[in-house]
Amino acid sequence: MPFGLVDCNNFFVSCERVFRPDLATKPVVVLSNNDGCVVSRSNEAKQMGIPMGMPFFRLREFDVEKRVTPFSSNYTLYADMSHRVMQLLASEVGDIIPYSIDESFFAVDSFANFSHDRAVQLSAKILKCTGIPVSVGVAPTMTLAKVACRYAKKVKGYHGACLIDNDTKRQKAIQHIDIGDVWGIGRRSLPRLKAMGIVTAADYAQLEELQVKRQFGINGIRTWQELNGISVVKAEDHDAKQSICTSRSFAEMVTTEEQLLTHVSNFAAQCALKLRQQQSVAQSVMVFVSSNRFRDDMEQYANAATVMLDVAASNTPEIVRAANAAMHSIYKKGVSYKKAGVVLSSISPNHAVQTSIFDTASEQRSRNDRLMAVIDKINSKNGRDAVHLASQQPDDAQPAKETPIFNNNLRREHMSRCFTTNFNDIIDVHV
């Protein structure tokens, strides 16, 4: 059964442009947290030679800064726009298999029921109803659907859709695509492939299976089969995540243990919330810290520590306490910290909690769980951290800082508004 793929073009930039139509043909970039790196580029920005992942401050060195409109990342907006696109897609094609914030696969009964015209119409409807331009690829395997989508995006004459619906087209499609641009082939494999004389996806598809297995392992084989038209990549649901991570780089270096504990408490609380939202519990709480790896002139330090809970939990106080203990065990005085994070793992559904025979706090735990349910309800109505632990010291409790805008030690100088999710940010129309 063939697979379809809908991929939003330059997604974050496209989201910003929906509310800034004046930028429709201008070079636009969206930056990562802290306004650090370029993570989304309009076609115009790509044509200027701005690479993905380039540090924002380098734009200045390239002297293109003045011609480019930058945005700080506005994940609330992107998540909501993504939701709209996915909902519309589902209403058009039935069951969808969301893959990332800007991509979703879907099953296609047969090519007889899904013409190129139909794919073009789908793309046009999504643009019309959400404002987001998308590309549509349809092919016998997920990897080939990715290839098709790439052609849909690159070749003007295809009108945003490409079908690889017979073997002649498949052969031709893989001959004209670099092996490095294939889904599943990463940077680390490229030198080895080059040494073997493999340049295109077709070169790779023609290798002996045994050789592929030896050189590139089971994942290499999967990609090889998929390029040859044999569907092996499974469309599995990963609804419940197996690890949950919250981490940030700091706009300003952090030196005291107290400051670090505050940040780690916030990260841990955020993780615990994500955990409860997917109705799971975690047993392992890991904390990591690191100095600024770009500063050769400063002491380098990176470390991590894990605390195992006796009984898997999802309530904020317990997760925060564990994270703080882990933090305390790795804090080193005299280091300037640039980044820290909390990772929860050993995650299971919360109806299958394995209690410990040494667990003497089960009553306290169930009290905590009830308390969290109430707090979550309050916070979902009144804003994240409306109720919080004293150790968190969330955004609005921070001392006000001078410009540039700092929010919990995060730089966001080019932030757009939450046009679609916050009443105070709804766009004004002046007639």
Partner DNA sequence: TCTGGGGTCCTAGGACCC
With binding defined as CB under 7 A, does residue 101 bind DNA? Answer: yes
> CB-hemisphere CA count at 13 Å for 391?
22
Among 186, 211, 362, 383, which residue sits at the site for DNA (rule: CB under 7 A)?
186
**For the chain, first and last CA: distance in Å?**
51
- Encoding tokens for residue 353? 């909690």
Burial 12-22 (b: 16+ CB within 10 A, else e): bbbbbbbbeee
Q: How many CB atoms lie within 10 A of CB 390?
A: 7
Q: Per CB under 7 A, does 361 bind DNA? A: no
Q: Is residue 382 within the footprint of DNA (CB under 7 A)?
A: no
Interface with DNA (CB under 7 A), residue total: 47
Residue 100 as a binder of DNA (CB under 7 A): the answer is yes
Contact region for DNA (CB under 7 A) — 49-57, 78-86, 360-368, 415-423? Answer: 49-57
Smallest distance, DNA to C-beta of residue 186, A? 2
Is position 39 an interface residue for DNA (rule: CB under 7 A)?
yes
Q: What does DSSP say about strands 103-107 and 96-100: parallel, antiparallel, or unpaired?
A: antiparallel
Work out whether 317 is an interface residue with DNA (CB under 7 A). no
User: Within 191-230, which residues bind DNA (CB under 7 A)?
Assistant: 217-219
Which positions from 270 to 289 touch DNA by CB under 7 A, shown as an x/- string? ----x---------------
> Count H helices, E strands: the chain?
13, 12
Q: Where are the beta strands (DSSP E) in 32-141?
A: 38-41, 69-71, 96-100, 103-107, 134-139
Q: Which of 24, 47, 51, 57 binds DNA (CB under 7 A)?
A: 57
Verify binding: residue 146, DNA, rule CB under 7 A: yes
Instruction: Specify whether the CB–CB gap between 263 and 250 falls below 8 A.
Output: yes
What's the closest the beta carbon of residue 161 comes to DNA, in angstroms?
Answer: 18
Q: Establish if 339 lies at the interface with DNA (CB under 7 A).
A: yes
Residue 411 Cβ vs DNA, minimum distance, rounded to whole Å? 8
For DNA, give the closer residue by CB, 186 or 349.
186
> Half-sphere exposure of 68 toward its Cβ, with a 13 Å CA cutoff?
29
What is d(CA 60, CA 56) in angstroms, rounded to the nearest whole number?
8
* CB contact at 8 A, 287 and 341: yes
Q: Would you tell me which residues interact with DNA (CB under 7 A)?
A: 32-34, 36-37, 39, 53, 55-57, 99-103, 146, 182-189, 217-219, 236, 238, 241-249, 251, 274, 292, 294-295, 306, 338-339, 341
